[in-house]
Structure 1
Amino acid sequence: MAFKEKLSSTFYYYQWVLQTRKLRQGFPRYKVMPVEKCISEIITGRKSASRFGDGEFRLLFPEHYLEFQENSEELRMKLKEVLAGSLSNHIVCLPEQFCSFRNFDINTKYWWKNFINHYGKRIAPFLDIQRTYGNAFISRFYIGFKDKSESRIKRTVNTLKRIWDEKDILIIEGRYSRLGIGNDLFSNAKSIERIICPEKHAFRVYQDIYEAARFYGEDKLILAALGPTATILCHDLAKAGFWAVDIGHIDIEYMWFLRKATEKTPIPGRHLNETEQQESLDLPEEYAENYIKSILLQIPRSA
């Protein structure tokens, strides 16, 4: 982008911020831990974590749905239960932008300020200004940040990898998520096993997923990448005494970093709901054997 275009974009952004500031008045600045602090809480306290992003907040309201997750009364009730929960072994994670915008690029600032413009007053009743929340961006550490330097990203990734260092992990993911396939994200784990779930509308078979997680997740660290279903699952597993972390998007963010991407781009072999284009979902042959060996169970779609 030419300097003149950058200047124009920056000028437009700050002009827009001033014009829309009244829409954000009354939306509190919540207490959200820095990414490093949140990861430390997960490790040292052996705490489960559930992440709320824009999709989870939209699904609190019956008129909204996501392309990959339909809405339902049960889903809304479960999401509200997670937000209101106060388990000692569980962290509710909010977007960092509910506390501060300083670490993010203009496009990300604009997107989240606009989200607050439209939804801030509606979601505020579900949140507690006195509470300290975890950081939902523990798994969104690259795209959207101003600082995309290799040193910062590697430092964050190495901190994240401490969560599963030398641990037996159970990954609960969508059919085309394929966490860690084709990269070294989980190379320091003791072992990796997987439960494969429907890539769309996973909450339809929530009870099957929950029961499978309990059956196969004993004495393991459970990592869930399954949209709003993972948000709910990690809370319910924490209630049952399991260690479960909602880690969705971590693999895609890491792949974007490895490719030095400057915007959200398709990744071969991965399903992406945040890009207009989609690369082939075929699994590269060199990774197929290890991936298939790691699968304990595939949960079928509900009719």
Structure 2
Amino acid sequence: MKNSNEKEHSGVIRAFARAVLRKMALILAPFGITRQGRARIREFFDDLVIGLYREEIESFIRRYPTVWSEEETIQYIIEHKASICRFGDGELKLIVGERHKSFQDVDQKLNDRLLEVLQSNEPNILIGIHPVRAFDRLGRIWQKFIIRIGDQVLDLLDNQRSYPSMGAFRVLPKKSRASLVDRIKLTKKIWEGRKILFITGENSRFRFEEELFNNAASVDFLYAPSKNAFGRYDEIISEIRANYPKEEYLVMPVLGPTATVLAYDLALSGYQAIDFGQMPGTFKKAKESLFGTADTILDELYNNK
């Protein structure tokens, strides 16, 4: 076992090596002739950094709370008509003070609300977190995320609590047509015969997919700012409450970190609210992985009408 001085010394050396490798990646990446070439250079240096921190990443995995399977999460939502608020890397970054890509600038009020939701334990409001189950299944984004702020994230979570999976609408089977169809059929039971209200950003990446929602009674859209939507939060939630009765609508916000808080507040006021994310895009990628094209039509999904 390493003593504390050895660990501290080792940590300093790794931090220095990481800084050097990141600098080299920045210097050398522009020499990649194509976009793919530049990406390969960055990935090469990312892999070196991840290798340096493998022990810390493995330790994070061991200390991380238990996460339900995606199927368990979906089944619970169906059986209990539960709401769900989802925390991916973006929401956790904001809470610890990092910027969330281009969708939402750091906003202390939003950060405080996200922390409130994450640490809540309200009946029938699920708090979904990222399924961290094995090093090789994490992917580079989460491996690098853990290196930067893993300990801070663990401080936010209760390792005595089991959490639903935020990947319920994001992690789709890609092994076979049957496995993908079965998962989609299960998920569609959430909104079968229901009126759906999507809240999404103007000109956002969200695209309606007939195969996913052809069993809904109706689908409506309410548009909000695609960036920094939290700045108009009060206006958004007031419009929902005024025009879309909770007795009639399943509300599914697709609005980055704002959707997490929005789903929580709507659920507290009696709505079933699903922090949905970009499932249609994930669905198209799964089809492309399985069939070589995202345009493949799965006739089995039209039997739910």
TM range (shorter): 0.7 to 0.9
* Residue 163 to residue 116, structure 1, CA distance change in 2 (3 Å): same
Which structure has greater helix proportion?
Answer: 2
Q: Structure 1: state its 5+ residue gaps.
A: 1-10, 268-303
Name the SS for the 2:210 alignment partner: coil
Name the SS for the 1:59 alignment partner: helix
Give the letter for the 1:157 counterpart.
I
* Structure 2 CA distance for aligned equivalents of residues 76 and 156 of structure 1: 33
Deviation at 1:46, TM superposition (A): 1.2
Deviation at 1:180, TM superposition (A): 5.4
| Alpha-carbon displacement from aligned partner over 1:97-145 (angstroms, at most 9, x marks no partner) | 2x4457x4xxx53332221121110111111011111111112124xx7
Percent pairwise identity? 31
Name the SS for the 1:132 alignment partner: coil
2:253·2:274 contact (CA, 8 Å) conserved in 1? yes
* Structure 2 CA distance for aligned equivalents of residues 101 and 63 of structure 1: 23
Please name the residue that 1:276 is paired with: none
Q: Structure 2: state its 5+ residue gaps.
A: 1-43, 296-305
Please name the residue that 2:188 is paired with: 161
| Alpha-carbon displacement from aligned partner over 1:209-246 (angstroms, at most 9, x marks no partner) | 11122221422111111100001111111111211001
* Residue 12 to residue 222, structure 1, CA distance change in 2 (3 Å): same
2:58·2:135 contact (CA, 8 Å) conserved in 1? no
Report 1:1-303 matches (<5 A).
19-24=52-57, 26-27=59-60, 28-97=63-132, 99-100=133-134, 104=137, 108-142=138-172, 147-177=174-204, 179=206, 181-215=208-242, 216-219=244-247, 220-260=249-289
1:32·1:134 contact (CA, 8 Å) conserved in 2? yes
* Structure 2 CA distance for aligned equivalents of residues 183 and 76 of structure 1: 35
| Alpha-carbon displacement from aligned partner over 1:140-178 (angstroms, at most 9, x marks no partner) | 124xx7x44322222211111110011111111112347
What is the aligned residue count?
248
* Residue 71 to residue 15, structure 1, CA distance change in 2 (3 Å): closer
* Residue 217 to residue 115, structure 1, CA distance change in 2 (3 Å): farther
TM-score relative to the length of structure 2: 0.73
TM-score relative to the length of structure 1: 0.73
* Residue 253 to residue 62, structure 1, CA distance change in 2 (3 Å): same
* Structure 1 CA distance for aligned equivalents of residues 98 and 208 of structure 2: 36
* Structure 1 CA distance for aligned equivalents of residues 46 and 229 of structure 2: 37
2:194·2:217 contact (CA, 8 Å) conserved in 1? yes
* Structure 2 CA distance for aligned equivalents of residues 161 and 180 of structure 1: 16
